[in-house]
């Protein structure tokens, strides 16, 4: 038992933030001036960004640093993490986009908590922050396997931006990472929790290589005014420590310091169409529900895989009757989620799965297509770390438990170890986002502003089902090899990408390789919705790397973005001088 | 009431709804903290929590929202349902967790999870329909309200919903996907119960950990302020079917 005196807190008494000092506290040490209004609606700004999440945070920072007048619109709040975030599972629900969406299809996706953010930082606020890169093969899935699609870029195009963003977050992981194109990480790996030990033990027993301690965007050593990780395990509840990277703490403070405006609690409802087929700004609702129009010379939509297509559909206007930038008919289509089955193993020894970051060990040994298997592409196996409520729901689903059976199983919470499958599901045209305005003959549903909500349809195809079956069984094998005496699983999904994919030609996608829409020269899309395929890597790093690359493109193009319809698809030089300090 | 009180008053009659000691088949005594971590008490660690978290957790423990969504009749049925979905007969009166008010508050405030299935009505309508159906089933089989039934009969009705084989009210339940309702019901109960520090103590979860953090990550080792597991045998009460193995989806 404890020798520890509860009268003497470790590290001394905690310094609570002052009631109102006019500052935003981001973690215990970082303090910034609260965002101010910089522009009037009638001012003509260069760029209006819709959504300040993973992509929007990086873009707004770089554009501001390059001297553009830029506003980042965010439907949710600008967080004060010390005062508003809690070290509590149920208390963190407002980090997610919890507004109504309709979900259907043969395998309907659970939305909300698992895959969308609301508030500055967006999903990067509650991601587990696994940051593997895509593999070179991901960019040519169609060429290699005859399924899915090719990207209009190669691995070499994005590689310098992976290196850049891994330093800006920065990423902790092994010095040599063997999968895809081998690379290292700027910060050393994290120590293991017992869930990571389960993965290592199981993989080692089966001869499967495994990566310990990363790659994760969590500080393994302090960085500037951000302390290192304290291994409390509340990563997806928002990191109060500030050890886990989110654009809220990595890029947005630098954006503000360079003159950007973040207009929070501002829900963009429609993109304005001006003369000559160009957009001229955004309509938005403020916190009081009053509608405004902000003039802008160009608009970049960074609303992620559901809200981006929704906004483009809701911006339909004469000449764009089926949604803005939808002449290809692909808007909303080719939506992807990754198979995210959670495999749960019971061990005789104690695990205490709530300690250490949920993300701290993985294997990508099964990532690529293997001709010996009966499906294309592959999967990763990763650590996860459900807190009690999430774990109870997994026990309910995986074991069908309720009543005394559920209470009894939960008393064994500390004996269970979870592991997660992360499997590539291919892009299918029928897996899509529409808006629930009744025009497709299905139900209507509107949000509090009267805007039709997103309606999502998702069904697995044979390749996906075979991949999930194989992957799930492989993870169960690993769990048993680690010594689990009982193994069960829950089928679920993680991450959302696609819906406004980039393409090499105007008839096969919504935007070009820089996110510039094929139909409207000064309208861009940049977020996870531009992915043509998804690999079995968590999408966050790739989203931020693509955003940094698009920022370089915009800088290279300069005024012509606002004034010319000419489309220059030459690659920009990688600017290493725009990183936040 | 912020901190639990020890409740030493003996129960007037020995309820068999409590878990049993397997060697003697005698119901285990009422506990302030069921589970295998005697003495673990998350609330005692409050000095090591940040202010925002402390306020949130103490508000949760110290105040029970009023019933505003369910009608009194609906609340009576739901209370009986919740008492079987997450039974607390092994807890002392003072340390039982108020689950129904948490669900009611969610529905009253329209705190949804961010989506609705195409084949489901709103969460609020789903509960109202399900309560009607549960009452109809109880009336048809037993000729009385669900909340008047003895434990086993209540559990049989709930098990039939779990198995998607209700014995009546088929027309009512056609309005939605019963599997999704069951899942929402159990999830809602778990979301209230396992958000409570008394439940954290029961399962050995350390609770809030900022700014202190954890120092012992491996081997399932307890932090200096946590307690080691002390297992004992545990049998579900005799008059229950909810502890039996359920078919899994593998």
Cβ pair A355:B234 closer than 8 A: no
How far apart are alpha carbons B247 and A223 in whole angstroms? 50
Residue found under tokens 């329909």: B129
Q: What's the distance, CA A70 to chain centroid?
A: 23
Which residues are A523's β-sheet partners? Answer: A299
Instruction: Report pLDDT for B248.
Output: 61
Contact B217 A411 (CB under 8 A): no
B227/A2 touch (CB, cutoff 8 Å), yes or no? yes
Q: Which residues of B touch A103 (CB under 8 A)?
A: 115-118
Proportion of chain A above pLDDT 90, given as a percent: 93
pLDDT (mean) for B128-154: 96
pLDDT on residue A114: 77
| Best residue in B37, B87, B103, B217 for a mutation probing chain A (most A CBs within 10 Å) | B217
- B12 has a pLDDT exceeding 50: no
- What is the DSSP annotation of A288-313? TS-EEEEEEEEEEE--HHHHHHHHHH
Q: How far apart are CA A226 and CA A30, in angstroms?
A: 7
Give me the torsion for CA of A157, A162, A167, A169, rounded to 10°: 130
Looking at residues A2-22, what average pLDDT do you find?
A: 54
pLDDT digit string (tens) for A225-240? Answer: 999 999 999 999 999 9
State the pLDDT at residue A35. 86
Cα gap B234→A469, rounded to integer Å: 35
Judged against a pLDDT cut of 80, whether residue B8 lies above it is answered with no
Note whether A191 contacts B217, CB cutoff 8 Å: yes
Rounded to the nearest integer, the mean pLDDT of chain A is: 95
**Which of B155, B209, B229 has its CB closest to that of A87?**
B209
- Residue A244 pLDDT greater than 50, yes or no: yes
Whether chain A has a CB inside 8 Å of the CB on B59: the answer is: no
pLDDT surpassing 80 at residue A95: yes
Tens digits of per-residue pLDDT, A397-433?
999 999 999 999 999 999 999 999 999 999 999 999 9
Residue A27: closest C-alpha in chain B? B211
Q: What is the pLDDT of residue A5?
A: 41
CA distance A516 to A501: 11
Q: What percent of chain B has pLDDT over 70?
A: 92
Given a cut of 80, whether residue A363 has pLDDT beyond it is yes
Q: Is pLDDT at A450 greater than 90 in this prediction? A: yes
Which residues in chain A have their CB less than 8 angstroms from residue B225's CB? 2, 4, 6
B200 reaches A (C-beta below 8 A): yes
> Encoding tokens for residue B61?
């423990």
The answer to whether A520 and A324 have CB atoms below 8 angstroms apart is yes
Number of C-beta neighbours around residue A454 at 10 A: 31
Does A2 have pLDDT greater than 60?
A: no
Strand positions, DSSP E, chain B: 116-117
pLDDT of residue B6: 44
pLDDT at B26 over 90: no
A344-362 residues labelled b (16+ CB within 10 A) or e (exposed): bbbbeebbbbbbbbbbbbb
Q: Is the pLDDT of residue A469 over 70?
A: yes
pLDDT, residue B170, reads: 86
The two three-digit tokens of residue A504, written as one number:
């090499």
Distance from C-alpha of A453 to C-alpha of A473, rounded to nearest angstrom: 37
A115, A515, B48, B147 from B42: Cα distances, Å: 30, 49, 10, 34
Q: How far apart are CA A217 and CA A213, in angstroms?
A: 11
Identify which of A10, A14, A412 has the shortest CB distance to residue B50: A14
pLDDT for the residue numbered B59: 96
A416 beta partners: A346
Question: A100 and B115: CB-CB below 8 Å?
Answer: yes
Hey, are the CB atoms on B47 and A489 less than 8 Å from each other? no
Nearest Cβ partner of B220 from A89, A407, A414?
A: A414
Nearest-Cα residue of chain B relative to residue A105: B118
Give the ipTM of the model, two decimals please. 0.95
The larger pLDDT score, comparing residue B1 to residue A192, is at: A192
| Among the listed residues A276, A269, A243, A193, the one whose alpha carbon sits nearest the alpha carbon of residue B210 | A243
Inter-chain residue contact A234 with B210, CB threshold 8 Å:
yes
Of the candidates A480, A357, A344, the residue with the CA atom closest to the CA atom of residue A419: A344
Residues from chain A that touch B191, judged by Cβ atoms under 8 A, are 90, 389
How far does B222 lie from chain A, in Å, by closest CA?
A: 9
What average pLDDT does this structure show over A182-197? 97
Chosen from B114, B157, B218 to mutate, greatest number of chain A CBs within 10 A: B114
* Count of C-beta atoms within a 10 Å radius of residue B183: 15
Q: Residue A282 in contact with residue A48, Cβ under 8 Å?
A: yes
CA–CA dist B127, A315 (Å, integer): 36
pLDDT digits (tens, 9 = 90+) for B98-139: 999 999 999 999 999 999 999 999 999 999 999 999 999 999
**Hey, are the CB atoms on A9 and B190 less than 8 Å from each other?**
no
What is the DSSP code (8-state) at residue A72? E
What is the DSSP code (8-state) at residue A207? T
B237 interfacial to chain A (CB closer than 8 Å): yes
> Looking at beta carbons, which residues of chain B come within 8 Å of A101?
114-116
Query: pLDDT value at position B239?
Result: 87
Q: Looking at residue A18, what is its pLDDT?
A: 66
- DSSP one-letter string for A345-360: EE-SS---TTSS-S--
Nearest to A269 by CA among A423, A75, A411: A75
3-state secondary structure of A488: strand
DSSP summary character for residue A329: S
Instruction: Categorize the per-residue pLDDT at B173 as very low, low, confident or very high, splitting at 50, 70 and 90.
Output: confident
Mind listing the pLDDT tens digit for each residue in A288-338? 999 999 999 999 999 999 999 999 999 999 999 999 999 999 999 999 999
In total, chain B counts a number of residues equal to: 250
Residue B17 has pLDDT above 70, yes or no: yes
Closest by Cβ to A234, choosing from B190, B209, B246: B209
A197 and B218: CB-CB below 8 Å? yes
Q: Taking residues B19-39, what's their average pLDDT?
A: 88
Distance between alpha carbon A245 and the CA centroid of its chain, in Å? 12
Is pLDDT of A7 > 60? no
Interchain pair B52, A85: CB under 8 A: yes
CA angle A405, A408, A410 (to 5 degrees): 110
pLDDT-based confidence at residue A14 (cuts at 50, 70, 90): low
- What is the pLDDT at residue B246? 80
Residue scoring higher pLDDT (A3 or B20): B20
Q: Are the beta carbons of B45 and A6 separated by less than 8 Å?
A: yes
Q: Which residues are CB-neighbours of A98 under 8 A, at least 6 positions away?
A: A112, A113, A118, B111, B112, B113, B114
| B211: enclosing H helix or E strand | none
- Please enumerate in sequence order all residues whose Cβ is within 8 A of that of B95, keeping only pairs 6 or more positions apart, or say none: B4, B7, B32, B33, B198
pLDDT score at B11: 45
Considering only CB atoms, A87 lies closest to which of B49, B224, B248, namely B49
Quote the Cα angle for B53-B56-B61, to 5°.
Answer: 125
**Residue contact B248–A108, C-beta within 8 A:** no
- B27 and chain A: CB distance < 8 Å anywhere? no
Chain A contacts of B242, Cβ < 8 Å? Answer: 402-406
Per residue in A48-86, pLDDT (tens digit) is 999 999 999 999 999 999 999 999 999 999 999 999 999
Asked whether the beta carbons of A218 and A244 are under 8 A apart, the reply is yes
Q: How many helices (H) and strands (E) does chain A have?
A: 13, 20
| Nearest chain B alpha carbon to A3 | B224
pLDDT of residue A354 exceeding 60, the answer is yes
**For B68-109, how does the pLDDT look when each residue is reduced to its tens digit (9 = 90+)?**
999 999 999 999 999 999 999 999 999 999 999 999 999 999
Asked if A108 lies within 8 A of B117 by C-beta distance, the reply is yes
Of the two residues A422 and A22, the one the predictor is more confident about is A422
For residue B229, is pLDDT > 70?
A: yes
Q: Is B209 on the interface with A (CB under 8 A)?
A: yes
Are A280 and A92 in contact, with CB atoms under 8 Å apart? no
Mean pLDDT within A345-373: 97
Task: Using CB atoms, pick whichever of B85, B114, B247 lies closest to residue A101.
Answer: B114
Q: How many helices (H) and strands (E) does chain B have?
A: 8, 1
Contacts of A195 in chain B (CB under 8 A): none
Q: Residues A78, A81, A83, CA angle at the centre, nearest 5°?
A: 100
Optimal mutation site among B28, B57, B115, interface A, most CBs of chain A within 10 A:
B115
Grade residue B55 by pLDDT with cuts at 50, 70 and 90: very high
Q: Determine the pLDDT at residue B16.
A: 65
User: Average pLDDT, stretch A134-159?
Assistant: 98
Q: How many CB pairs under 8 A join A and B?
A: 262
Residue B41 distance to chain A (closest CA, Å): 12
- Residue B200 sits at the vertex; the CA angle it makes with B196 and B205, to the nearest 5 degrees, is 145
Across all residues in chain B, what is the average pLDDT?
A: 90
CA distances from A77 to A73, A118, A291, A499 (A): 10, 8, 17, 25
Pairing of strands A342-346, A486-490: antiparallel
What does the pLDDT read at residue B176? Answer: 86
| Size of chain A in residues | 581
If one counts every other C-beta atom within 10 angstroms of the C-beta of residue B179, the result is 13
Q: What is the mean pLDDT of residues A345-358?
A: 97
Which pTM value belongs to this model?
0.95
Residue of chain B minimizing CA distance to A352: B220
Instruction: Give the pLDDT of residue B249.
Output: 53
Minimum CA–CA partner of B232 in chain A: A411
């Amino acid at each position: 038992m404890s020798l520890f005196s509860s009268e003497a807190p470790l590290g001394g008494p905690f310094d609570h933030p002052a009631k109102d000092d006019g500052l935003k506290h981001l973690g215990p040490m970082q303090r910034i001036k609260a965002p101010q209004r910089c522009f009037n609606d009638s001012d003509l700004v260069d760029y209006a960004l819709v959504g300040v999440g993973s992509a929007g945070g990086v873009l707004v920072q770089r554009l501001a640093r390059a001297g553009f007048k830029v506003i980042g619109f965010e439907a949710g709040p600008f967080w004060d993490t010390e005062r508003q975030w809690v070290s509590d599972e149920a208390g963190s629900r407002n980090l997610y986009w919890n507004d109504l969406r309709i979900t259907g299809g043969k395998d309907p996706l659970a939305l909300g908590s698992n895959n969308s953010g609301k508030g500055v930082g967006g999903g990067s606020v509650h991601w587990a922050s696994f940051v593997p890169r895509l593999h070179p093969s991901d960019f040519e899935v169609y060429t290699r396997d005859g399924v899915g699609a090719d990207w209009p870029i190669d691995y070499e195009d994005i590689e310098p931006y992976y290196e850049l963003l891994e330093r800006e977050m920065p990423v902790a992981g092994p010095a040599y990472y063997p999968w895809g194109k081998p690379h290292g990480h700027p910060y050393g790996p994290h120590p293991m929790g017992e869930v990571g030990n389960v993965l290592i033990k199981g993989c080692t027993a089966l001869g499967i290589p495994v990566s310990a301690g990363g790659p994760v965007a969590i500080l393994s050593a302090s960085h500037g005014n951000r302390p290192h990780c304290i291994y409390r395990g509340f990563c997806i509840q928002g990191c109060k420590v500030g050890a886990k990277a989110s654009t809220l703490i990595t890029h947005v403070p630098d954006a503000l310091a360079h003159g950007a405006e973040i207009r929070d609690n501002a829900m963009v409802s429609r993109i304005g169409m001006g003369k000559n087929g160009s957009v001229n700004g955004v309509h938005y609702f403020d916190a009081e529900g009053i509608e405004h129009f902000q003039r802008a010379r160009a608009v970049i939509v960074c609303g992620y895989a559901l809200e981006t297509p929704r906004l483009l559909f809701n911006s339909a206007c004469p000449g764009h009757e089926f949604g803005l930038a939808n002449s290809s008919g692909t808007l909303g289509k080719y939506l992807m989620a990754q198979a995210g089955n959670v495999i749960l193993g019971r061990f005789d020894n104690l695990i205490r799965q709530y300690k250490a970051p949920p993300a701290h060990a993985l294997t990508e040994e099964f990532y690529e297509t293997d001709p010996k298997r009966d499906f294309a592409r592959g999967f990763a196996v990763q650590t996860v770390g459900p807190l009690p409520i999430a774990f109870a729901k997994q026990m309910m689903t995986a074991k069908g438990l309720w009543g005394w059976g559920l209470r009894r199983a939960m008393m064994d919470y500390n004996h269970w170890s979870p592991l997660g499958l992360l499997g590539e599901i291919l892009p299918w045209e029928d897996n899509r986002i529409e808006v629930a305005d009744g025009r497709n003959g299905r139900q209507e549903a509107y949000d509090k502003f009267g805007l039709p909500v997103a309606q999502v349809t998702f069904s697995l195809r044979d390749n996906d089902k075979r991949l999930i079956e194989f992957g799930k069984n492989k993870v169960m094998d690993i769990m048993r090899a680690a010594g689990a005496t009982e193994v069960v699983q829950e089928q679920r999904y993680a991450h959302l990408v696609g819906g406004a994919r980039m393409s090499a030609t105007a008839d096969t996608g919504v935007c070009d390789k820089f996110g510039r829409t094929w139909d409207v020269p000064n309208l861009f899309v940049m977020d996870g919705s531009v992915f043509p395929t998804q690999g079995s890597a968590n999408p966050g790093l790739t989203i931020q790397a693509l955003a940094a690359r698009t920022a370089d493109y915009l800088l290279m193009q300069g005024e012509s973005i606002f004034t010319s319809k000419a489309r220059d698809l030459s690659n920009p030089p990688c600017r290493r001088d725009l990183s936040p300090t | 009431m912020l901190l639990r009180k020890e409740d030493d008053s003996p129960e007037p009659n020995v309820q068999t709804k409590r878990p049993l000691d397997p060697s003697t088949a005698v119901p285990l005594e009422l506990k302030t903290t069921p589970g295998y971590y005697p003495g673990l008490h998350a609330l005692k660690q409050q000095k090591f929590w940040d202010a925002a978290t402390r306020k949130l957790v103490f508000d949760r423990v110290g105040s029970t929202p009023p019933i505003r969504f369910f009608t009194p009749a609906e609340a009576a049925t739901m209370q009986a349902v919740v008492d079987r979905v997450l039974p607390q007969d092994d807890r002392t009166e003072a340390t039982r967790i108020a689950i129904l008010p948490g669900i009611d508050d969610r529905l009253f405030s329209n705190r949804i999870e961010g989506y609705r299935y195409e084949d489901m009505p709103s969460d609020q309508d789903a509960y109202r329909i399900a309560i009607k159906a549960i009452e109809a089933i109880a009336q048809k089989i037993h000729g009385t309200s669900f909340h008047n039934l003895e434990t086993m009969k209540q559990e049989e009705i709930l098990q039939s919903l779990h198995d998607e084989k209700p014995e009546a009210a088929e027309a009512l339940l056609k309005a939605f996907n019963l599997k999704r309702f069951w899942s929402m019901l159990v999830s809602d109960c778990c979301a209230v119960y396992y958000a409570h520090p008394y439940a954290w103590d029961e399962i050995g979860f350390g609770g809030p950990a900022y700014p202190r953090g954890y120092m012992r990550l491996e081997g399932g080792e307890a932090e200096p302020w946590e307690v080691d597991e002390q297992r004992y045998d545990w049998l579900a009460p005799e008059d229950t079917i909810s502890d039996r193995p359920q078919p899994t989806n593998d």
